[in-house]
Structure 1
Amino acid sequence: MKLVFYGLWEDERSKLEELHKKYGFDYEATAEELSLLNVSLSEGCAGVSVLGKGAVGDDLLSALHGYGVKFLATRSIGYNHIDLAAAKKYGFKLCNSQYPPDSVAEFTLMLILMSLRKYKQALWLQQVNDYALEHLKGGVLSQKTVGVVGTGHIGGRVIELLSGFGCRLLCHSADYDPKVAQIAEYTDLDTLYQSSDILTFHVPLLPSTKHMVNAEALKKMKEGVVLINTARGELFETEALIGGVENRKIGALAMDVFEGEDGIYHMDRTDDIIRNRDMAYLRQFPNVILTQHMAFYTQLSMDSMMENSVEGLLDFNRKGTNRFEIRF
């Protein structure tokens, strides 16, 4: 069986070669994202693996189908970059990847603590030798109520980590987890918004979750609420965030993702003009932390995603399904 890997990062190569030796498949690989310019590399391959940044639309799926590709894997948990209707039309089997939740969960906890203790402001002030404490009085996590939206793989782990701080924990999710219910209280979304000092989001990007944090949702939240997003940027409506920070409804905002981040995050744009005014405007606020979609980025996660992707494609060929198959 032959596979092709698009968007391959250097720190994925050693794991890919290890899996190649273990399972004996043939493969091609390129650092370039899948595009119409390089889709011909998939000719004669049964399966294709993409990293999860570039859009995989009808045109690309049609071309892959024409070259005989049957199976598609994304080396990411999210798969909103793939046109599912087109994938179904051309008869693809699709799988995503998983990784242990600790990388994102620990990063989420770090953002919560950085927001509460005003680390960004402290870092800025040190750059000009200002070591006064006047603007740096922080909050204590154990005295807060934290609302977790989404109690799946990552959200559940976030709750486990937070439970050690002694804070009150509320949660809301499409699925009920009895283990989570032992340490957090499930409630409806409106109650969660109204009661939480800190809100952290761990849900997939779906039509029902896009812009779930908007102007109407902010009205339901506490004054000075702390918002954390390490899931997908499009869960938050950017215009509403700007308004919330300006009028101090939002006390602190920390996001590892951003609406419209494609073409910016995971690229060196040092000498470029970044044409995302909203990103530039939000970044300048002292109580806003933006990181470059890096919460997942540990060797543990990278190895897991590559392993899931390879084994998923091989299982499609051998068994017709796999444990990470996306059914649509």
Structure 2
Amino acid sequence: MKLLAYNVRTDESMFFQTFAEQYGVELHTLPYSPTLENAGKTEGCDAVSVVTTSITKEILEKWKASGIRCVSTRSVGFDHIDIEAADALDIPVSTVNYTPASVAEYTVMLILMALRKVKTIIMRGSVQDYSLTSVRGRELRTCTVGIIGAGRIGEAVIQRLRGFGCEILVHTLKPNEALAPFVSYVPFEKLLQKSDVISLHAPATAETKHLIGQKEMEKMKDGVVLINAARGTLIDTQALIEGLESGKIGAAALDVLENEKKVFYKDLKYKVLSNRELALLQSMPNVILTPHTAFYTEEAVSDMVEYSILSCKYELEGRDNPWRVNG
């Protein structure tokens, strides 16, 4: 198998080399994103590994013409790939999974940072303001935490929250009886009404777009804390801004944001941000923003590279591919 991997970062290179040798793959890597102009670079390759850049119908058509037989994205989400076009071209598309501990641990960190007003404490400390004014926090053990979506990552968050002694409410499509002794499965509206902290762990789909909007926020407790380390489209950003400005939302900790692709993973310190909502949120003392880094651990990067290679290998060998999302 000859594999071309796009957007290969320096920190991924070692893993690509290790697993390519382990699985007998002829590997070619590029440091930049796939575009229609460079899609011809795949000539002679059997498979492509990408990340979260947009993969359009036109790119897929060009890859198909050059002999590409499958596409793997080194991410859990696949909304950046035109799946309808891939189906029409008979190109299997696969995702990866990785240790859920990475995002789960990061989520708990965000919850604690939001509750303890860590952003304000750090910012004031940087200008030698060590006063206690307006930085009194809350203890997690006193809070009711609502988890929306209890798949692998949501479940891992629940397991980590158990040690804090907080009440945990869960709304999910597939309740897990093994968690029943530790959580209460509740309808969506009850979770909104009863939770002091709400953490989102749902995928980005047409059905989940703006899962949390103005109407949902109106049903929440005053001062609720919102956590999103899943997908930016789950929250209506404009409604979130309005909720923060009115005080309805007490704090937010976000690792993802709508329209983040033009900003996140880029060095923009000498540029004007093209995302006004991000700039506005970043200015708020009760909002923590990180650039989609919850997944980013050594263990997770290793998993993503290995499973991307394996999914392509399985497709080309006609074996069952547990990561395929279409066809």
Structure 1: segments with no counterpart, 5+ residues? none
Task: Report if the CA contact (8 A) 2:262-2:274 is conserved.
Answer: no
CA contact (8 A) 2:237 2:277 kept: yes
CA distance in 1, matches of 2:6, 2:320: 22
Where do 1:93-132 residues align within 5 Å? 93-132=92-131
Moved more, 69-78 or 33-42: 33-42
Map Cα deviations across residues 181-218 of structure 1 (whole Å, 9 max, x no partner): 23111111000000100000001000010011100110
CA distance in 2, matches of 1:100, 1:50: 19
Aligned residues: 327
What CA distance in whole angstroms lies between the structure 1 residues aligned with 2:32 and 2:179? Answer: 40
* Residues 146 and 196 in structure 1, CA contact (< 8 A), matched pair in contact too: yes
Determine whether 1:15 maps to 2:15. Answer: yes
- 1:318 is aligned to 317
Which string of whole-angstrom CA distances, capped at 9 and with x for unpartnered residues, describes residues 129-148 of structure 1?
A: 11111211100100000000
Paired with 1:104 and 1:62, the residues of 2 have a C-alpha distance of 34
Matches within 5 A, 1:48-59: 48-52=48-52, 54-59=53-58
Q: What amino acid is aligned across from residue 148 of structure 2 in structure 1? A: V
1:320 Cα deviation from its structure 2 partner: 4.2
Kindly report which structure 2 residues correspond to 1:173-252, keeping only aligned pairs within 5 A, or say none: 173-252=172-251
In the alignment, the residues of structure 2 paired with residue 306 and residue 118 of structure 1 have an alpha-carbon distance, to the nearest angstrom, of 36
Residue 264 of structure 1 deviates from its aligned partner by: 0.8
- The structural deviation recorded for 1:256 is 0.3
Please say if residues 28 and 41 of structure 1, whose CA atoms lie closer than 8 Å, have aligned partners that are also in contact. no
* Alpha-carbon distance in 1 for matches of 2:101, 2:127: 35
One-letter identity of the residue aligned with 2:140: L
Three-state SS of the structure 2 residue aligned to 1:86 is helix
Say if 1:148 and 1:172, in contact at 8 Å, map to a contact too: yes
Gaps of 5+ in 2: none
Matches within 5 A, 1:52-71: 52=52, 54-71=53-70
1:36 Cα deviation (Å)? 1.2
Residue identity over aligned pairs, in percent, reads: 38
Q: Secondary structure at the match of 2:146?
A: strand
What corresponds to 1:2 in structure 2?
Answer: 2
RMSD: 0.9
Residue 180 of structure 1 deviates from its aligned partner by: 2.2
Do the aligned residues in 2 keep the contact of 1:172 with 1:186 (CA within 8 Å)? Answer: yes
Pair 1:146 & 2:130 matched: no
Give the aligned residue type for 2:12: E
| Deviation of 1:28 (Å) | 1.3
The letter of the residue matching 2:19 is L
Aligned AA (1:211): H
> What's the offset of the Cα at 1:125?
1.2
Using structure 1 for the length normalisation, give the TM-score: 0.98
Q: What are the Cα deviations for residues 280-316 of structure 1, in whole angstroms up to 9, with x where unaligned?
A: 1111111001001110111111000000000110011
What is the alpha-carbon distance in structure 2 between the residues aligned to residue 118 and residue 69 of structure 1?
A: 50
CA distance in 2, matches of 1:302, 1:10: 11
Q: Which runs of 4+ in 1 moved over 4 A?
A: none
